[in-house]
Structure 1
Amino acid sequence: MAKAKGARIIITLECTECRTNVNKRSPGVNRYTTTKNRRNTTARLELKKFCPHCNRHTVHKEIK
């Protein structure tokens, strides 16, 4: 019998300002990967992290 899926899943966080900001340091979109517990955190995750393309701390949102 197979084991049930764990509660932890791998998610991707993407910079929200890279898509709209034209005056950024370099082209591209910054992404981070992390894990979250789907039982405790059911909503989409938002964290402030450093974006090397924008050269500052910005909000990174969970993408599908």
Structure 2
Amino acid sequence: MRVGVTLACSDCKQRNYTTVKNKKTMTEKVELKKYCRFCNTHTVHKEIK
């Protein structure tokens, strides 16, 4: 049930991180606040397809 997802910066749209999530318990898209090396700030990163 665990699937790999890619996280992209909400500001610059760069794909920075990969992580895994449990599709059974987390049905919505993942949003995490992480550091973006392209923006040089902490921004919200959202799951993309």
Question: Shorter-chain TM-score: what band?
Answer: over 0.9
Q: Going by fraction, where is helix more abundant, 1 or 2?
A: 1
- 1:35 is matched with which residue? 20
- Give unmatched runs, 5+ long, in structure 2: none
Percent pairwise identity: 53
Give SS of 1:18's match. coil
Q: Which stretches of structure 1, 4 residues or longer, exceed 3 Å deviation after superposition?
A: none
Aligned-partner SS, 1:44? coil
Provide the rounded CA distance (Å) in 2 between the counterparts of 1:52 and 1:31. 8
**Over aligned residues, Cα RMSD in angstroms?**
0.9
Unaligned runs of 5+ in 1: 1-6, 20-28
TM-score, normalised relative to structure 1: 0.72
Q: Aligned-pair distance for 1:30?
A: 3.9
Q: How is 1:3-42 mapped onto 2 (pairs within 5 angstroms)? A: 7-19=1-13, 29-42=14-27
Report how many residues are paired. 49
Structure 2 match to 1:23: none
Please say if residues 30 and 51 of structure 1, whose CA atoms lie closer than 8 Å, have aligned partners that are also in contact: no
Name whichever structure is richer in strand by fraction. Answer: 2
